[in-house]
Amino acid sequence: MITFLVSMAVVVGFAVLIAQGCGHAGSGHITDRDAQRMQTELSAIYAHGHHR
């Protein structure tokens, strides 16, 4: 059981290293509109909650 867990941790760690090295496909200058929208909404919610 411990051997299985260690081997899975190695596989996941290796996959994470590969994923970080690859980057995104296509141009790096494409704006992620969904991420911008979510960040704007979260900022508005945070500002509204601390406005008092």
- Express each pLDDT in 13-46 by its tens digit: 888 877 766 555 555 556 678 888 888 888 888 8
| pLDDT the model gives residue 27 | 56
Predicted structure pTM score: 0.40
**In the predicted structure, residue 50 carries a pLDDT above the cut 80:** no
**Distance of CA 19 to CAs 11, 25, 26, 27, 37, Å?**
12, 11, 15, 17, 25
pLDDT value of residue 26:
55
